[in-house]
C-alpha cells in the first residue's frame, strides 16, 4: 500500500474553501495512493472542515489526519519529532507501506524535514507539485541519520552541553565505539576503574558488550601487558567448576591424568574475567569467595595454597542484587565483586551510536573478509541503512554484529540492498524481548502513551481485516466488538482500509 505523507498547508485549506484542487488533493487524485497520512498545525475546526471536504473529493483514500500543534511554523525539532511519531505509528501497526513525502504543502521547514527523513530514516519517495503536474524529486545524497536528533535539539541544551565540556564526535574506549552521552558516562567511570586493582562488576543485557568492556578495562589499565583470562561460568559442568577455577593435581580425581592450571593461576598478575557470574552454583560461590578474600588458591588434590595477584572483573545479564534477595547469590560474594559497578545501557538507549556502530562493524568485517573466495567489500544502500537504523535490536550489539556478518556472506554484489537486510533479520518472534516491543519501551522523554495506544489499535484492526478477508462483521467479532458499526468507527478513526 502506497501512503502519501504531507503537512496540511494554507494553500490546501484555501483550496477546500474554494472547492478546487490544492497540492494534497491534486496528488491524491492521481490514483496511485491508497492512503494518506496528513499532519496539521491548525485549529480543530479547520482540520475537521478540510477532512470532510477531502474525504468527499477522494472517497477511496484512507485518510489519517494527526493534529500536531507547533510553537511556531518553523520549529524544526517539533516538526521532526511529530513526523517520526506519526510515521512510526503507521508502520509499526500495519504491513510495511511504501511512503511518499509531499514537499509542497506546509512551510519550508516542513519540506526540509521531509527531505531529511527520506534520506536518513525512511526509504521514501519525494514529490512536489507545480501548477500543472506532480513531479518526483531526485535528491541523490545521504546523511548520517543518527546525528539528526542532536542537530535538532534546542539551542540551550546544546549550549549547556558545550559549557559542561561534553566531548563530541567519534570516541573510543578500548575497542568500544560510541558517540552517545549514555555510553560516555559509562566510559568515564570505566576509565577511573581501569586504573585500580579492585574488583569490578559489569551488568547489562545480553549482547551489550560486557566482555568488550572487560577487555577495555584491562587494556587501558596498568596490567595491560599481563594475561587477560576469560571463564564463562555458565558453560562449566558442575563437577569441573573447582578444577577450572583453581586447577588440580594429577590423580586428584578420575580423569585427572596431568596437573592442570586453573584460571586464577593463569591470570596471575593480570585480569580474570568471570562471565555470567550469576550462573555459578552456591557451593562454588563459597570457594570463589575464599579465593577473592585471601588472594590465594588451592588446587584440587593439593595441600598447600598458592598466592595469586589477580584483578577480578565479573559480568552478568541478571540483577545480582535481586538474586541476593532471592537467595540465589551469596550476599558476601556480591559485595566482594561489586566494589565498583558498571551498567552497560542497551543499544536502544544509546542515542546516536547505532549508525556509528553499523559503519564501524561493517568496515571491520570488510577488512577481515578481504581475500576470502568470491568476497567483495560491501556498502549499504540508503534503504538498507535506513532499515537497519529503524530496527529495535533487542539482541543489542551482538545481534547487529551477527546480522551484518550474515549480510556480508549472503549478499552477492558489492551493495547491500533493503531486501538483503530483510532476509538477514532474525524472525520477529526471536528478536523481540519477552513482553513485546510495545510493553518494553522506555518511558520518559519522547514517550507518548496516546501514540502507543494508537499503534496497538491500528495493528489489531488491520490484522482483523486481513484475517476476516475484509468482512467487517467477522473482523469486529475477532477483536471483541459487539457490532460492526463500532468496528467501522474505529477503522475510520485509525485509517485502516478494507484492502489491508
pLDDT of 171-206, one tens digit each?
A: 668 888 888 888 999 999 999 999 988 999 999 999
Say if residue 9 is in the same domain as residue 101. Answer: yes
Domain span holding position 414: 351-431
Looking at residue 296, what DSSP letter applies?
A: E
Say if residue 425 is in the same domain as residue 465. Answer: no
Residue 382's pLDDT band (boundaries 50, 70, 90)? confident
What is the rounded distance in angstroms from the CA atom of residue 11 to the CA atom of residue 257? Answer: 87
Say if residue 237 is in the same domain as residue 337. Answer: yes
User: Could you tell me if residue 216 is inside a domain?
Assistant: yes
Cell numbers given for 403? 546480522
What is the rounded distance in angstroms from the CA atom of residue 432 to the CA atom of residue 393? Answer: 8
User: Could you tell me if residue 324 is inside a domain?
Assistant: yes
Which CATH number goes with the domain that contains 22?
3.40.50.10770
pLDDT of residue 414: 92
What is the rounded distance in angstroms from the CA atom of residue 56 to the CA atom of residue 307? Answer: 86
In the predicted model, is pLDDT for residue 145 greater than 50? no
Say if residue 227 is in the same domain as residue 339. Answer: yes
pLDDT above 70 coverage of the chain, percent: 86
What is the rounded distance in angstroms from the CA atom of residue 229 to the CA atom of residue 89? Answer: 47
User: Could you tell me if residue 499 is inside a domain?
Assistant: no
Mean pLDDT of the 141-149 span:
46
Q: Of 292, 392, 413, which Cα lies nearest the Cα of 403?
A: 392
Say if residue 415 is in the same domain as residue 328. Answer: no
pLDDT of residue 498: 64
Residue 92's pLDDT band (boundaries 50, 70, 90)? low
What are phi and psi for residue 237, nearest 5 degrees? -55, 140
Residue 140's pLDDT band (boundaries 50, 70, 90)? low
Whether the Cβ atoms of residue 179 and residue 169 lie closer than 8 Å to each other: yes
Residue 136's pLDDT band (boundaries 50, 70, 90)? confident
The residue out of 289, 309, 344 marking a domain boundary is: 344
User: Could you tell me if residue 438 is inside a domain?
Assistant: no
What is the rounded distance in angstroms from the CA atom of residue 68 to the CA atom of residue 66? Answer: 6
Segment (H or E) for 127: strand 124-129
Beta carbons within 10 angstroms of residue 305's beta carbon: 15
Q: Of 443, 359, 384, 433, which Cα lies nearest the Cα of 120?
A: 384
> What's the mean pLDDT when you consider all of the chain?
84
Task: Identify the residue whose cell numbers are 538498507.
Answer: 384
Beta carbons within 10 angstroms of residue 74's beta carbon: 13
DSSP per-residue codes, 311-327: EEEEEESS-HHHHHHTT
Whether the Cβ atoms of residue 271 and residue 228 lie closer than 8 Å to each other: yes
Least confident of 84-88, 146-150, 374-378: 146-150
User: Could you tell me if residue 12 is inside a domain?
Assistant: yes
Cell numbers given for 34? 491508497
Say if residue 15 is in the same domain as residue 63. Answer: yes
Say if residue 49 is in the same domain as residue 191. Answer: no
User: Could you tell me if residue 164 is inside a domain?
Assistant: no
The residue out of 431, 460, 486 marking a domain boundary is: 431
Segment (H or E) for 6: strand 2-7
User: Cα angle at 282 between 276 and 283, to 5 degrees?
Assistant: 120
Which CATH number goes with the domain that contains 313?
3.40.50.300
User: Could you tell me if residue 150 is inside a domain?
Assistant: no
Number of folded domains in the chain? 4
Whether the Cβ atoms of residue 157 and residue 198 lie closer than 8 Å to each other: no
Say if residue 369 is in the same domain as residue 228. Answer: no
* pTM > 0.75: yes or no: no
Say if residue 307 is in the same domain as residue 365. Answer: no
Looking at residue 98, what DSSP letter applies?
A: E
Its sign, for the CA torsion 60, 64, 69, 74, is negative
Say if residue 97 is in the same domain as residue 205. Answer: no
Mean pLDDT of the 222-242 span:
92
Which CATH number goes with the domain that contains 382?
1.10.8.60
In the predicted model, is pLDDT for residue 430 greater than 60? no
User: Could you tell me if residue 147 is inside a domain?
Assistant: no
Say if residue 13 is in the same domain as residue 123. Answer: yes
What is the rounded distance in angstroms from the CA atom of residue 65 to the CA atom of residue 12? Answer: 14
pLDDT of residue 329: 94
Taking CA atoms, 66 is separated from 218, 229, 317, in Å, by: 52, 56, 40
Question: Exposure string (b/e) for 79-114, b if CB count within 10 Å is 16 or more?
Answer: bbbbbbbbbebbbbbbeebebbbbbbbbbebbbebb
pLDDT of residue 433: 45
- For residues 50, 53, 58, 64, the Cα torsion angle rounded to the nearest 10 degrees is 30
CA 346 to chain centroid, in Å, comes to 8
The residue out of 141, 170, 194 marking a domain boundary is: 141
Segment (H or E) for 386: helix 382-390
Say if residue 398 is in the same domain as residue 276. Answer: no
247-248 and 340-343 strand pairing: unpaired
DSSP per-residue codes, 230-292: EEEGGGS-GGGHHHHHHEE-TTSSTT--S-EE-HHHHTTTSEEEEETGGGS-HHHHHHHHHHH
Question: Exposure string (b/e) for 390-407, b if CB count within 10 Å is 16 or more?
Answer: bbbbbbbbebbbebbbbb
Cell numbers given for 240? 569441573
Cell numbers given for 237? 559442568
Note the pLDDT tens digit of each residue in 36-86. 999 999 998 999 999 999 999 999 898 999 999 998 888 888 999 999 988
Whether the Cβ atoms of residue 390 and residue 348 lie closer than 8 Å to each other: no
Note the pLDDT tens digit of each residue in 289-340. 999 999 999 999 888 899 999 999 999 998 888 899 889 999 999 999 999 9
Whether the Cβ atoms of residue 350 and residue 182 lie closer than 8 Å to each other: yes
Amino acid at each position: 500500500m502506497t501512503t502519501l505523507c504531507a503537512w496540511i498547508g494554507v494553500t490546501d485549506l484555501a483550496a477546500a474553501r474554494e472547492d478546487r484542487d490544492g497540492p494534497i488533493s491534486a496528488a491524491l487524485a492521481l490514483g496511485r495512493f491508497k492512503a494518506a497520512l496528513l499532519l496539521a498545525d491548525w485549529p480543530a475546526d479547520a482540520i475537521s472542515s478540510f477532512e470532510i471536504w477531502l474525504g468527499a473529493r477522494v472517497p477511496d483514500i484512507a485518510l489519517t489526519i494527526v493534529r500536531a500543534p507547533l510553537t511556531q511554523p518553523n520549529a524544526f525539532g517539533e516538526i521532526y519529532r511529530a513526523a517520526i511519531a506519526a510515521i512510526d505509528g503507521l508502520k509499526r501497526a500495519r504491513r510495511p507501506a511504501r511512503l511518499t513525502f509531499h514537499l509542497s504543502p506546509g512551510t519550508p521547514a516542513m519540506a526540509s524535514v521531509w527531505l531529511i527523513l527520506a534520506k536518513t530514516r525512511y526509504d521514501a519517495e519525494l514529490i512536489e507539485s507545480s501548477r500543472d503536474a506532480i513531479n518526483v524529486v531526485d535528491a541523490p545524497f545521504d546523511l548520517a541519520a543518527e546525528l539528526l536528533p542532536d542537530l535538532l535539539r534546542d539551542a540551550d541544551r546544546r549550549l549547556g552541553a558545550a559549557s559542561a565540556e561534553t566531548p563530541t564526535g567519534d570516541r573510543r574506549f578500548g575497542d568500544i565505539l560510541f558517540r552517545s552521552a549514555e555510553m560516555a558516562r559509562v566510559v568515564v567511570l570505566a576509565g577511573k576503574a581501569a586504573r585500580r586493582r579492585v574488583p569490578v562488576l559489569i551488568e547489562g543485557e545480553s549482547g551489550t558488550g560486557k566482555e568488550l568492556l572487560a577487555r577495555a578495562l584491562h587494556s587501558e589499565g596498568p596490567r595491560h601487558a599481563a594475561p587477560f583470562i576469560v571463564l564463562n561460568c555458565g558453560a562449566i559442568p558442575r563437577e569441573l567448576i573447582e578444577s577450572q577455577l583453581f586447577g588440580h593435581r594429577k590423580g586428584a580425581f578420575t580423569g585427572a591424568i596431568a596437573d592442570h592450571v586453573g584460571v586464577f593461576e593463569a591470570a596471575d598478575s593480570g585480569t580474570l574475567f568471570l562471565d555470567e557470574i550469576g550462573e555459578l552454583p552456591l557451593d562454588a560461590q563459597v570457594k570463589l569467595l575464599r579465593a577473592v578474600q585471601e588472594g590465594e588458591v588451592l588446587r584440587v588434590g593439593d595441600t598447600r595454597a598458592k598466592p595469586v595477584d589477580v584483578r577480578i572483573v565479573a559480568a552478568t545479564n541478571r540483577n545480582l542484587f535481586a538474586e541476593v534477595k532471592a537467595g540465589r547469590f551469596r550476599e558476601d560474594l556480591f559485595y566482594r565483586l561489586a566494589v565498583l559497578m558498571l551498567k552497560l545501557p542497551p543499544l536502544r538507549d544509546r542515542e546516536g551510536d547505532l549508525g556509528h556502530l553499523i559503519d564501524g562493524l561493517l568496515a571491520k568485517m570488510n577488512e577481515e573478509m578481504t581475500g576470502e573466495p568470491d568476497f567483495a567489500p560491501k556498502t549499504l544502500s540508503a534503504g538498507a541503512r535506513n532499515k537497519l537504523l529503524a530496527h529495535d535490536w533487542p539482541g543489542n550489539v551482538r545481534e547487529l554484529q551477527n546480522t551484518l556478518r550474515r549480510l556480508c556472506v549472503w549478499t552477492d554484489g558489492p551493495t547491500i540492498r533493503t531486501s538483503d537486510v530483510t532476509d538477514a533479520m532474525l524472525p520477529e518472534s526471536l528478536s523481540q524481548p519477552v513482553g513485546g516491543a510495545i510493553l518494553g519501551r522506555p518511558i520518559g522523554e519522547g514517550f507518548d502513551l496516546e501514540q502507543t495506544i494508537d499503534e496497538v489499535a491500528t495493528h489489531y484492526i488491520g490484522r482483523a481485516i486481513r484475517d476476516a478477508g475484509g468482512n467487517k462483521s467477522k473482523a469486529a467479532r475477532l477483536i471483541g466488538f459487539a457490532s460492526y458499526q463500532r468496528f467501522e468507527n474505529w477503522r475510520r478513526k485509525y485509517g485502516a482500509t478494507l484492502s489491508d
